[in-house]
Chain A
């Protein structure tokens, strides 16, 4: 066993155990699922640690290298994403142990599909070529959509059908782009492609098809309309996985292509176009979130808004301008903290639904008195979404702002600040209701312990992520495509 073979475990472990879990019933299945979740998280953290200590790990599966074989590659970016999926996935798994009714059919179906989805995500993060990215992206979609339909309601089935029809279009478009690139250059490996790519019409068409397809899947404005119904009608742990990890994975793919396969090309105009869409997402998503009556819809529209920030890295990074590399680390930090905070918010919403039986914001009066811990966790997640210090959301947003100043693109800065204000409005709309005094005869309610503590873990991690920025940047800096600015306080000043 060579050192690089540790890369296969975050993918193999959940996939194999997912199938095994399917064969068992009752308590055995539950123990196996827990073992699968812990194993997946530990192997992911192990890869993270190994990359941090040495350098990029490359593993040729079965001893077959590129161009024919499948190559797994974990650099700093992939390691950060693996660590993220390990943490969020583990918490979602622990939460799910008590979320589903014990022995129910939903519980039986949830675990194998969730493990498949998790394995697909990990595979996506360490894929070394553009075709394996396609296959793992499909695995993720084929795992995510049945999980939405698991809710079994009419809305959920309709939402998952609409999601699948759009996701198919997105992946076909991506695959066509892959075909064009292969026809032109005869390579699929990301590194080889990055070295051989030269600009011409075919390449630009391929980029348009690939990024266009991924934008549908990442639900970037104006292709966001499928997301709120899908994410809000799914069971709570599924909503958390979708908003936290699945959407992030689509963004990850765009970033991976942009910074690793296409760095030799001049794509500034396309970057500006994506930036405009991002601004639209920030403002429209935030505005819609304020107008929602239901908590889960509000959180889902908040996702639409926050995805916009991630995509601002494409206009804000300019290799000709020194110091704009801070946009790259900022957007990855933002993605990580958004994923943690958003899963936390959805899991907390799930507890409210479980306890109160609904998620109508106007009828959740006094929840702060009745469920103080869950409300506290939701508020901490809100701090992150608003981008207040010391949360990771604050550091990420500040770095993006700084990049906007360095490159002289003030407009993006204004939009980011407005987005923060909108987030402030929609979070406080919810907290205001929670903080009112409950009715005299309100019953004494108890929140389920395991679920509450898993939500708290995510909330505290999200809000203290700002302190761990140097560690994250240390991992991200391994084979980074962009020279990272070392993290010091003066870097944050405009």
Chain B
């Protein structure tokens, strides 16, 4: 098993764990964290694909992709947190089915 394959599988495992919690948690803050886990897992998977050249040199494209991906993920997380703050101010709840909390 090559090193890059271990990284790729780890990435998929992290993304899978994130996905499980993303779907099962009701608290939105936890969903945000889980969403970042999915993102990190996919980025690790992408970076591991840089080791694909026959001569053993590193392909720079996946790194550029991951950098861009991180910027997008950070902006999305920021927007999500800002919306969540506003939602919490309005409803006092951290889940989308607010009736249960009140």
A residues in contact (CB < 8 Å) with B: 67-68, 131, 134-135, 138, 141-142, 145-146, 149, 154, 157-158, 160-162, 164-165, 168-169, 171-172, 175-176, 178-179, 182-183, 186, 188
Contacts and interface: CB of A to CB of B under 8 A. Distances in A.
B24 interface: no
Interface string B43-57: 001100100100000
A160 B83 contact: yes
Given A157-B86, A172-B35, A182 B79 contact: no
Contact of A186 (B59, B65, B83): B59
Contacts of A171: 72
A135 B76 contact: no
Contact of B68 (A135, A149, A157, A182): A135
A68 B61 contact: yes
Contacts of B86: 149, 157
A168 B76 contact: yes
**Which 7 residue pairs of A and B lie closest in terms of their CB atoms, listed nearest first?**
A183-B49, A179-B46, A138-B72, A154-B90, A172-B38, A161-B83, A176-B42
Given A67-B61, A135-B72, A161-B96, A154 B91 contact: yes
A145 B45 contact: no
Interface in B68-85: 68-69, 72, 75-76, 79-80, 83-84
Contact of A164 (B39, B46, B76, B90): B76
Contact of A176 (B45, B52, B83, B96): B45
B76 A138 contact: yes
Contacts of B76: 138, 141-142, 164, 168
A164 to B, nearest CB: 6
Contacts of A154: 90-91
Nearest to A177: B42
B84 A161 contact: yes
Contacts of B59: 186
B28 to A, nearest CB: 7
A158 B96 contact: yes
Interface residues of B, number: 33
Interface of B: 8, 15, 22, 28, 31, 35, 38-39, 42, 45-46, 49, 52, 59-62, 65, 68-69, 72, 75-76, 79-80, 83-84, 86-87, 90-91, 96, 98
A47 B28 CA distance: 43
Contacts of A164: 76, 79-80, 83
A365 B18 CA distance: 51
Nearest to A68: B61
Nearest to A137: B72
Given A138-B75, A157-B87, A176-B15, 17 more contacts: A138-B76, A141-B76, A158-B91, A160-B83, A161-B84, A162-B96, A164-B76, A164-B83, A168-B35, A168-B76, A168-B80, A169-B35, A172-B15, A176-B42, A179-B49, A182-B46, A186-B52
B90 A157 contact: yes
A157 B52 contact: no
Nearest to A132: B68
A218 to B, nearest CB: 18
A179 B90 contact: no
Contacts of A179: 42, 45-46, 49, 62, 65
Contacts of B28: 161, 165
A171 B61 CA distance: 19
A91 to B, nearest CB: 27
Nearest to A176: B42
Contacts of B35: 165, 168-169, 172
